[in-house]
Amino acid sequence: MSRTFRIVLKRYFTNAFKKDLMAGLTVGVISLPLAMAFAIASGVNPEYGIYTTIIAACLATIFGGSRYQVTGPTGAFIPVLLSIVLTYGYENLLIAGLLSGVILVLMGLLKLGSLIKYIPRPVTIGFTAGIAVNIFIGQVPNFLGLSGLARHEGFIDNLHEIITHLATFNIYSAATAALSLFIILLTPRFLPKVPGSLLGILASTLTAAFFYPGEVSTISSTFGGLPSTLPLFQLPSLSAETFQHLLRPAFAIAFLGAIESLLSAVVADGMTGTHHNSNRELIGQGIANIVTPLFGGIPATGAIARTATNIKTGAVTRVSVLISAFFVLATMLLLASYAGSIPLASMAPVLMIVAYNMSEHHAFLAILKTRSHSAGVLVVTFLLTVLTDLTIAVEFGLLLAMIIFVKRMSDILVVNRVLPDQENHLVNVADEKEPVDTHDCPQISIFSVEGPLFFGAAQMFSQTLMDTIHYYPKVIILRMSKVPFIDLTGEQHLRIIIQDLRKRGTLVLIAGLNIQAERLMKKTGLYDMIGAHHYFRHTCDAIAHAANHIDKSACRNCQKDLSKHCLAEEQIEQIS
């Protein structure tokens, strides 16, 4: 061991280890009941949630890009994973999780981490609120102790099952769930440093065991208890047909996992003043999701609540997350037999509180109050998440948001006919229209184009410009200094306009073209078609060049009241 390493290690154990230890133990205590609850709600055995909490947390913190990120099973995944389990089975869920890990790694290697921030907030709020509703309704049977229900993918079908099985209501389950919920809600007020979920589960479990044993469903009675051994490594069998069926669910897991992880990392940055590496974080989450299914674990992602807890309890380094994972592992090995006594009703309130917290109801209502297009995107995404599935909701929500965005961007594009400013007619060109019947030059016309010239606005640009030209002057100057971007569709419309004007004998000059537009036009050949000598940095230079291509005698005999607005006056005087 080198001397430098010993010094670093000594400093760590002197300054940071105690803080990481307390943070890790706290997160571990919180993670254990959540791991079992999320697994059960996802349609799999509780131990698979524990395996995920142990393995995914270690791998994601080692390879990820956020120092404080805690990775594990989360509530956001519940509807997606349950849908996959019901449709394809648990074995195929593992394959879908592995494929999602590969997708996440590829996203990180392709530097797509920064693109997640471009997903509109109404879409994320909409599907998060929809997921919360599905989680909440999915816990009602356990809360009320209903029996004989069949689990479905759809919200309506599950709601119908609940209504038709209300007669199987179990008063003992409801009392156990109510006690757990009561303690969870009161703990933050009276014991803020104690995890309310753990205390609620412990108290309600002891109550059920002592006062009405055997009257409520427990982990042992439903799933056969928890194993007290390490998970076994097993390679899944992946065929071409299975790959084809599971690719779409894998993309849904990867997409949701990327959003949740990066949002959690952003929250951690805000709490600590640090900056995470988004692409490395995706790679870390991908590696975690590739390895975890090999040991029976379910898909995992960054958990906002556990990450925030890790920070609030004093975490300094990534070691705190490793400590939390080892705590969960030790607890599973030593206390598995006791954990089997936990009633399902005790964990139902835990997930209901998770659903309530993740719904972001304040943000949901705030967007609704705007009565804007964003509110429409929010409602559509929310309803589709609840009534169909997350993949359809996100796809449709993003499509709708994109259409609205394109519409708004196309409205930004403005084409105006302009004249030189009265005070300095060759330097500054005014953006406001002058009365064209009084001051418009019959030989030179200037048009100011403002806004992105892209596929959504190209048709409007073409139509507006051609409709404004009631005659064909000798020269047209397109002032494009305020066009930040041109795409191929915009370039094609510009090309058609220039070709049409050329056929009618009109010279087209371009002023103030930016670098992006110039590069695109050079690649497509439009730049050379217009001619390099017809591009000018300033509008006044274009006007001076235009004055050499007009009929000077017509200017001398012009009856327009141009006064200082005359575009060619100084040039004519100089030539004369």
Q: Are residues 393 and 422 in the same domain?
A: no
Question: What is the identity of the amino acid at 141?
Answer: P
Identify whether residues 275 and 310 lie together within a single domain.
yes
3-state secondary structure 446-480: EEEEECCECCCCHHHHHHHHHHHCCCCCCEEEEEE
In a domain, 52, yes or no: yes
pLDDT in tens, 31-86: 988 999 999 999 999 999 999 999 999 999 999 999 999 999 998 888 889 989 99
Task: Give whole-number Cα distances, 356 to 118, 137, 275, 328, 499, in Å.
Answer: 26, 11, 29, 25, 61
Distance (Å) of CA 357 to CA 69, 276, 360, 363 = 19, 24, 6, 12
Are residues 470 and 392 part of one domain? no
Q: Both 383 and 462 in a single domain? A: no
Inter-residue contact 509 to 534 (CB < 8 Å):
yes
| Torsion angle (degrees, nearest 10) of CA 354, 356, 360, 361 | 180
228 in any annotated domain: no
Same-domain pairing of 436 and 291: no
Amino acid in position 564: K
How distant, in Å, are the alpha carbons of 47, 52, 54, 148 from that of 332?
9, 12, 10, 30
Tell me the sheet residues that pair with 513: none
DSSP state of 232: P
Q: What is the pLDDT of residue 429?
A: 41
DSSP tag of 235: P
Statement to judge: residues 431 and 399 lie in one domain: no
Q: Is residue 555 part of a domain?
A: yes
Q: Are residues 398 and 447 in the same domain?
A: no
Which two structure tokens, joined as six digits, stand for 417? 């006919």
Structure tokens that stand for 438 in this block: 């009084």
Q: What is the pLDDT of residues 277-324, one digit of tens each?
A: 999 999 999 999 999 999 999 999 999 889 988 898 888 999 999 999
Instruction: Tell me what percent of the residues of the chain surpass a pLDDT of 70.
Output: 91
Opening angle at CA 68, ends 63 and 72, nearest 5: 70
> Virtual CA dihedral for 537, 542, 548, 549, nearest 10 degrees?
120
With CA atoms as reference, report the closest residue to 485 among 509, 446, 507, 458. 458
Q: Positive or negative, the Cα torsion across 83, 84, 87, 89?
A: negative
- pLDDT at 563 exceeding the cut of 70: no
Among candidate residues 403, 427, 449, the one where a domain is terminated: 403
Last residue of a domain, one of 403, 424, 459: 403
247 within a domain of the structure (yes/no): yes
Q: What is the largest CA-CA distance in the chain?
A: 111
For residue 189, is it within any domain?
A: yes
Domain that holds residue 62: 3-223+233-403
* Highest mean predicted confidence (pLDDT) among 41-50, 383-392, 550-559: 41-50
Token pair in block for residue 273:
């003043």
190 and 208 assigned to the same domain: yes
| Mean pLDDT computed over every residue of the chain | 85
Instruction: Please tell me the total count of domains within the chain.
Output: 2
> What phi-psi label fits residue 357: left (phi over 0), alpha (psi between -120 and 50 degrees) or beta?
alpha
User: Is 346 part of any domain?
Assistant: yes
Domain boundary among 343, 372, 403: 403
Q: Specify which of 91-105, 128-142, 186-200, 386-400 reaches the highest per-range mean pLDDT.
A: 91-105
Q: Please answer whether residues 89 and 96 qualify as being in contact, where contact means their C-beta atoms are separated by less than 8 angstroms.
A: no
Confidence of residue 559 (pLDDT cuts 50, 70, 90): low
Q: Quick check: 53 and 73 in contact, CB under 8 A?
A: yes
pLDDT band at 415 (very low <50, low <70, confident <90, very high): confident
Would residue 268 count as lying in a domain? yes
Express each pLDDT in 249-284 by its tens digit: 999 899 889 988 988 888 888 888 888 999 999 999
Does some domain include residue 12? yes
> Any idea what the CATH number is for the domain that residue 547 is in?
3.30.750.24
Q: How confident is the model at residue 572 (pLDDT cuts 50, 70, 90)?
A: very low
In whole angstroms, give the CA distance from residue 326 to residue 337: 18
Helix (H, G, I), strand (E, B) or coil at 38: helix
pTM for this entry: 0.76
450-504 pLDDT per residue, tens: 889 988 888 888 888 887 776 778 899 999 988 998 999 999 999 999 998 888 8
- 384 & 435 share domain: no
pLDDT at 141 over 90: yes
- Return the structure tokens found at 560: 């327009």
- Same-domain check for residues 213 and 144: yes
> What is the DSSP-derived secondary structure letter of residue 75?
G
Q: Calculate ∠ Cα 132-216-204, nearest 5°.
A: 70
- Note whether 71 and 188 are same-domain residues: yes
Are the C-beta atoms of residues 196 and 30 closer than 8 Å to each other?
no
How distant is the alpha carbon of residue 418 from its chain centre? 42
Report how far apart the first and last C-alpha atoms of the chain are (Å, whole number): 90
The pLDDT of residue 560 is 56
Q: Do 461 and 320 share a structural domain? A: no
State how far the Cα of 152 lies from the Cα of 387, in Å rounded to an integer: 12
CA separation, residue 403 to residues 252, 373, 392, 398 (Å): 22, 10, 16, 9
